[in-house]
Amino acid sequence: MAGDGRDMTADAARPTGGVPQDDELQTALAWLEAGRTVARAAVVSTWGSSPRPTGSQMIVDADGNMAGSVSGGCIEGAVVDAAKQTMRSGKPQMLEFGVSDEQAWDVGLACGGTVHVYVEKME
Amino acid sequence: MKRAVLRQLQDARSNKRPVALVTDLEEGEEALIDDGDLVAGELLLSTPVLHEIDAAVRYDRSGRLAEPNAHLFVEVFNPPLRLIVVGAVHIAQKLAPMARLAEYEVTVVDPRRAFATDSRFPSVHLRHDWPDDALTALDLDRRTAVITLTHDPKLDDPALVQALHSPCFYIGALGSTRTHAKRLERLSQEGFSDVQLERIHGPLGLPLGGRAPAEIALAAMAQMTQVLHGAAPLVKGAKPAAVG
């Protein structure tokens, strides 16, 4: 197959790389090095069905630019707001979204699960 | 998260180190753990907690630790899974794409150049050196699985020897119960103990009953997955199907 970067040298048999191309943390590092203010939000626990597994994360800058995701798009808006707050205050936050939470219905986590999202400033 | 820790994490990942980032969700402190050692960050962890982190890395499970340490969030960053297949045979042609779908990097080793060709094995790494040289060069780690498929002791045995000397998580060898018994006899003459030889899964794969190349490949994939996650056997005491 052309274009898949494969060749026949011994080195080609080594893994192609430990960091995926679309890695959120690599994006975070690039944004930080460019002098941008950055927060990260990570799914730290889930209960019931949830769109993204534990460890999923999203990177947000002060302008609300984001990379990655913590749900199927239902809670990202609320997480970006919290991230902006954390970037201003420097204080981490633990967010909970679930069926018992009015806000979760408002922002549409309709899949019936609960997720905890930890938001911290990167510095 | 501190930039210095992030930078070190990304360095470790690009060097394919199995690392864990541990965040104290109450204090906001963090630690980067590489093979049981704190390599960056300020969060101090007890030995029992480090053992729990090691298990999380081994089974590739990110999440909060169990109580009373649920304030510790462990993110596991493991290098990519790799599968080394020795023998560019028909089963390998089925196994390689299956393993690619399961997000393994696949290398097929066969010094017989007529077998290991690009057209038979698109999108995998091919090596034509002798299996022991190849496996030494590939530096088998605990995210690597090795499967031998040639039936030829000249090719299979040197690969199995290298695999047994490595921390690779799975070793599978194609061959009937009889073939496998002879293989174990040869390897024990080379000085391997019964306990060491138990690491070899032979006859290959879970007992799914199929004999077609794709079915044998599936049985091997299933067994690799089971061993990777430390899952219990599906049926206790079931006799593995003789394959090949």
> Does residue B34 sit at the A interface (CB-CB below 8 Å)?
no
- Is any Cβ of chain B less than 8 angstroms from the Cβ of A62? no
| Contact yes or no for A15 and B129 at CB 8 A | no
Partner-chain residue, chosen from B1, B10, B15, that has the shortest CB–CB distance to A122: B1
Tell me the average pLDDT across A82-108.
78
Query: Average model confidence (pLDDT) for chain A?
Result: 79
Give the pLDDT score at A102.
52
The pLDDT score that the predictor gives to residue A10 is 36
Which residues of B fall within a CB distance of 8 Å from A89?
none
Q: Is pLDDT at A18 greater than 50 in this prediction?
A: yes
B105 close contact with A: CB closer than 8 A: yes
| Nearest Cα residue to B231 out of B206, B209, B212, B213 | B206
The pLDDT of residue A106 is above 70? no
Q: Which CATH superfamily groups domain B81-228? A: NAD(P)-binding Rossmann-like Domain (3.40.50.720)
Position with higher pLDDT, A38 vs A18: A38
Cβ proximity of B48 and B36 under 8 Å = no
pLDDT tens for A19-77 read 877 789 999 999 999 999 999 999 999 887 777 889 999 999 999 999 998 887 778 89
Query: Cis peptide before B203, with omega less than 30 degrees from 0?
Result: yes
Does A109 have pLDDT greater than 60? no
Mean pLDDT of chain B: 92
Strands, sheet with B200-201, edge to edge from the N-terminal-most edge strand: B125-127, B104-109, B81-86, B144-148, B170-173, B200-201
pLDDT per 10-residue tile (average), chain B, 244 residues: 95 92 95 92 94 90 93 93 97 96 94 91 94 95 94 96 96 96 96 96 95 97 92 58 51
In chain B, % of residues over pLDDT 90: 82
- Which residue in B8, B125, B126 has the most chain A C-beta atoms within 10 A of its own C-beta, making it the best mutation to test that interface? B125
The closest CB to that of B13, out of A19, A32, A55, belongs to A19
**Count of CB atoms within 10 A of residue B197's CB?**
17
Given an 8 Å threshold on Cβ–Cβ distance, is A44 in contact with B64? yes
Q: Does A113 have pLDDT greater than 80?
A: no
pLDDT, residue B162, reads 97
Between B10, B125, B138, which is nearest A25 by CB? B10
B76 Cβ neighbours under 8 A, 6+ residues apart: A55, B18, B19, B20, B56, B57, B60, B61, B62
Tell me if B62 and A14 make a contact (CB, 8 A cut-off).
no
Of A19, A40, A122, the CB nearest to B14: A19
**What pLDDT score does B244 carry?**
47
Name the B residues in 208-237 with CB < 8 Å from any A CB: none
SS3 (DSSP) at B142: coil
What pLDDT shows up at residue A51?
73
Q: What's the pLDDT score for residue B237?
A: 52
Every domain range in chain B assigned CATH 3.40.50.720: 81-228
Is residue A85 pLDDT above 60, yes or no? Answer: yes
Q: What is the pLDDT of residue A6?
A: 39
